[in-house]
């Protein structure tokens, strides 16, 4: 397996003070192994705990560890958009900041990226509350009806992109949980090649998930309908 010449890595964080340092400390040796030149971008989405303060301290260790912060909590999609826009290098990978993925499994993505524009993960076994499993099933049905695709794990928070692929799907509009659907829908619209790879998923040790609350769900439905309208009727979009 050859190394990347350069790689941007970013993690979205929201109230993850108990996970942040562990996630970054595990990512650094992997980055050193797989990339000649790298950056790790930590995106704080308006945390109300000490996530941002800890993030700033971590950034002081190495100028390749970069802190980017939202002034207020905007949503998962907003954090991903910020990470994608801030990433400078020819390959970009994002991984959720809750510690439920093993970042070293990026090696599986690297094996496929030469033959794809985007490589997306799918969880071998999802370690979440049963309600989230139900939401995932409903999301698959919803996305098949509205966008016509059948990915194994639409909202898996582990994806690798070529920089030119990201440029073809920007700008993104979703600020909430529908961001992963938008990424895949716009990638298909741009005729980008998307491959899937299996990854392990681990139980969350610290912190709480937000994806199952009613406000997030209603926001996702609204954003999905807006996306469908934009993809089908906004022919002027570049």
Residues 23-45 pLDDT 10s: 999 999 999 999 999 999 999 99
Cα distance from N-terminal residue to C-terminal residue, the chain: 36
Examine residue 91 and state whether it is found in any structural domain, yes or no.
Answer: yes
If one counts the domains in the chain, the total is: 1
Alpha carbon separation from 47 to 105, 181, 206 (Å, rounded):
28, 24, 15
**Residue 171 pLDDT greater than 90, yes or no:** yes
What is the pLDDT confidence band of residue 235, given thresholds at 50, 70 and 90?
low
How confident is the model at residue 137, as a pLDDT? 74
Examine residue 17 and state whether it is found in any structural domain, yes or no.
Answer: yes
How confident is the model at residue 226, as a pLDDT? 86
Distance CA 63, CA 229 (A): 42
Examine residue 86 and state whether it is found in any structural domain, yes or no.
Answer: yes
**Residue 236 pLDDT greater than 70, yes or no:** no
Examine residue 28 and state whether it is found in any structural domain, yes or no.
Answer: yes
Average pLDDT in the chain: 91
pLDDT tens for 72-126 read: 999 999 999 999 999 999 999 999 999 999 999 999 999 999 999 999 999 998 7
Beta carbons within 10 angstroms of residue 138's beta carbon: 11
**Residue 69 pLDDT greater than 60, yes or no:** yes
* Owner of token pair 């003070």: 17
pLDDT tens for 215-228 read: 777 788 888 888 88
How confident is the model at residue 204, as a pLDDT? 87
Examine residue 168 and state whether it is found in any structural domain, yes or no.
Answer: yes
Examine residue 83 and state whether it is found in any structural domain, yes or no.
Answer: yes
Find the CATH number of the domain harbouring 11.
3.90.550.10
- Provide the sign of the torsion angle of the four alpha carbons 222, 71, 82, 52, taken in this order: negative
Examine residue 238 and state whether it is found in any structural domain, yes or no.
Answer: no
* Owner of token pair 């016509």: 148
**Residue 238 pLDDT greater than 50, yes or no:** no
**Residue 176 pLDDT greater than 70, yes or no:** yes
Cis peptide before 43 (omega within 30 of 0): no
Note down the domain range covering 221: 4-233
Say if CB 24 and CB 40 are below 8 A apart.
yes
How confident is the model at residue 131, as a pLDDT? 63
The reported pTM is: 0.90
Examine residue 63 and state whether it is found in any structural domain, yes or no.
Answer: yes
Read off the pLDDT of each residue in 170-181 and give the average, rounded to a whole number: 93
């Amino acid at each position: 397996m050859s190394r990347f010449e350069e790689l941007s890595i970013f993690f979205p964080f929201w109230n993850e003070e108990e996970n942040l340092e562990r996630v970054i400390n595990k990512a650094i040796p992997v980055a050193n192994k797989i990339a000649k030149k790298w950056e790790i971008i930590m995106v704080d989405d308006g945390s109300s705990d000490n996530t941002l303060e800890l993030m700033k301290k971590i950034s002081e260790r190495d100028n390749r560890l970069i802190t980017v912060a939202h002034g207020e909590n905007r949503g998962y999609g907003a954090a991903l958009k910020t990470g994608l826009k801030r990433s400078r290098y020819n390959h970009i990978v994002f991984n959720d900041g809750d510690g439920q993925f093993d970042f070293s499994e990026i090696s599986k993505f690297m094996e496929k990226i030469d033959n794809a524009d985007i490589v997306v993960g799918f969880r071998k076994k999802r370690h979440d509350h049963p309600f989230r499993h139900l939401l995932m099933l409903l999301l698959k049905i919803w996305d098949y009806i509205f966008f016509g695709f059948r990915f194994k794990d639409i909202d898996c928070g582990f994806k690798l992109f070529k920089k030119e692929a990201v440029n073809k799907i920007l700008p993104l509009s979703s600020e909430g949980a529908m961001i992963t659907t938008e990424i895949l829908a716009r990638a298909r619209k741009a005729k980008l090649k998307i491959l899937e790879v299996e990854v392990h998923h681990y139980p969350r040790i610290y912190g709480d998930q937000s994806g199952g609350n009613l406000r997030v769900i209603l926001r996702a439905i609204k954003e999905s309908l807006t996306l469908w309208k934009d993809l089908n009727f906004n022919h002027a979009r570049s």
